Amino acid sequence: MSEPDLSVLGAGGAPVLCESAELASPPPVMGLAPLFRAALAREDITGLAPELIARYERDDDVYALLDLALIQQLCFQREGGLETLGVALARQQVFRVAQGQAGATRLLVVKIPGDFTANVPFECILEHADMTIDVLYVGPGLPWPTRLPDHDLLFVAIGEADTHCATLAQLGRYLENWPRPVLNPPERIPALSRAEAFEVLRGAPGLCMATTWRADRAALEKTRPGEISFPIILRPQGGHGGINLSKIESLSDIAAYLQKVEGNDFFAANFINYASPDGLFRKYRVVQIDGKPFLAHMGISQHWMVHYPYPEMKEHPERRAEEAAAMAGFDEGFARRHAAALSAIHERFGLDYVGFDCAETQQGELLVFELSNALVIHDADDATLFPYKSPQMRKIFKAFEDMLHRRAGAAAK
């Protein structure tokens, strides 16, 4: 991507902020939240595609392509979805995805082209918020706009990834002297990378994070006896959701892993056994909003690699009851036990919104696995099986919305 030409921007190096007639009455957009909920419930959302295609062809409706791209991605057609999104972004980069009532807080969200894991899933968080929300896409091959819709505050939704670093760096220059509050400043996001986060959190009180390092294929292939203390965890850089994440017990396991997993760059980390006294593994997903922690879910499994939701949680009502109790008592229990570690995370990263997957070590420390500002949180789980989840997620969503209103109100004074 070319350097932003700040000479064409408005006074102070910022774009001209103005109301846009094109955004005043945008076409309807379904968005991520309802589509994700339907996909998780295994509804056939492909039936929506023909009408979206017809809308685009008949009405020249670029918004239809946004929903079509999401449907393709949620139906495991990632490349097709990204191609559809690319067609939309070639036409325009700013989309109004929510229209609030008169006087509602105006939020500008900055995203990068990618699948629904590339950015903060703010559409799920703010699904029912009374806000006017515009989305600006930036990234390789996209120009830096000289005019943007006026707004009360700006939220950077771009997630941490090696492939996002250049865009985040240029976005930081683009946002210098921004005339509105900027939440999740782009220059702070790259520190969430697995290897960098280990250094940022080194020495934090009550916190443990496995030694993590970057290794390419050649280095792993050349590993000699005694150079690594096993077991370790290997995963491709840029990988998410446990894809190609493996526990490696020996040098021969490294060789077998590299034979079946493509790619050149990997993260390696020492494995820490975090099994509870009953032999089960408990993994927590926590989000911090303006420094306050909230529990998004807790998975309990016989296996060290815990995904959520998964058959074990659905098959064992006592585990769901334990998760419900953990949510109800989170502030007085987990958050109090790990107050120093949680405070260090907020202070050292300085992000307004961030999430992390974690556990408790057998010594009682907070064991952090992964930090991300784009972890998927949602209110889409089966309400029959997880009746306690929706109230908890609404609590999180309200805290996020309240933070935005509070920051916008403070800036207006």
pLDDT at 12: 45
pTM: 0.91
Distance (Å, whole) CA 295 – CA 287: 7
The candidate with the shortest Cα–Cα distance to 14, out of 134, 188, 135, 182, is 182
Please report whether residue 410 resides in a domain.
no
Task: Tell me whether residue 381 is in a domain.
Answer: no
Specify whether 259 is located in the same domain as 130. no
Choosing from 270, 297, 317, the residue where a domain stops is 270
Assign residue 298 the CATH number of its domain. Answer: 3.30.470
Question: Phi and psi (nearest 5°) for 152?
Answer: -95, -25
Beta bridge partners of 300: 282
Residue 216: enclosing H or E segment and its boundaries?
strand 212-216
pLDDT at residue 7 in the model: 34
34 and 124 inside one domain: yes
The structure tokens listed for 217 are: 């294929």
Supply the CATH number for residue 230's domain.
3.30.1490.20
Q: Are residues 298 and 256 in the same domain?
A: no
**DSSP-assigned letter for residue 158:** B
Contact 286, 371 (CB under 8 A): no
Using DSSP, state whether 256 is helix, strand or coil.
helix
DSSP per-residue letters across 119-150 = B--HHHHTTT--EEEEEEE--TT-PPPSEEE-
Q: For the chain, which ranges sit under pLDDT 70?
A: 1-14, 20-25, 240-241
* Domain presence at residue 26: yes
pLDDT of residue 275: 96
Which among 274, 331, 270, 333 is positioned nearest to 306, based on CA atoms? 274
How many other C-beta atoms are found inside a 10 Å radius of the C-beta of residue 266? 23
User: Do 228 and 288 reside in the same domain of the chain?
Assistant: no
Domain count, the chain: 3
Domain annotation covers residue 53: yes
Q: Are the CB atoms for 239 and 264 separated by under 8 Å? A: no
User: What is the rounded CA–CA span in Å between residue 85 and residue 365?
Assistant: 43
CB atoms within 10 A of CB 275: 13
141 in a structural domain: yes
The tokens describing 378, both together, are 């949602």
Asked whether residue 220 falls in the same domain as residue 245, the answer is yes
Q: Are residue 221 and residue 298 in the same domain, yes or no?
A: no
Per-residue pLDDT at 2: 36
- Domain boundary, last residue among 154, 188, 222: 188
41 and 178 assigned to the same domain = yes
Q: Do residues 220 and 341 share a domain? A: no
Does residue 380 sit within a domain?
no
Closest CA to 212 of 267, 163, 168: 267
Domain that holds residue 36: 6-188
385: in domain: no
For residues 235 and 119, membership in a common domain is answered with: no
> Distance between CA 339 and CA 333 in Å, rounded?
10
Domain assignment present for 389: no
Domain co-membership, 131 together with 51 = yes
Query: For the chain, how many helices (H) and strands (E)?
Result: 15, 16
Residue 230 sits in the same domain as residue 320 = no
Tally of CA atoms within 13 A in the half-sphere of 33 that contains its CB:
15
Asked whether residue 266 falls in the same domain as residue 343, the answer is no
Instruction: Give the pairing of strands 292-301 and 246-248.
Output: unpaired
Cβ pair 197, 188 in contact under 8 A = no
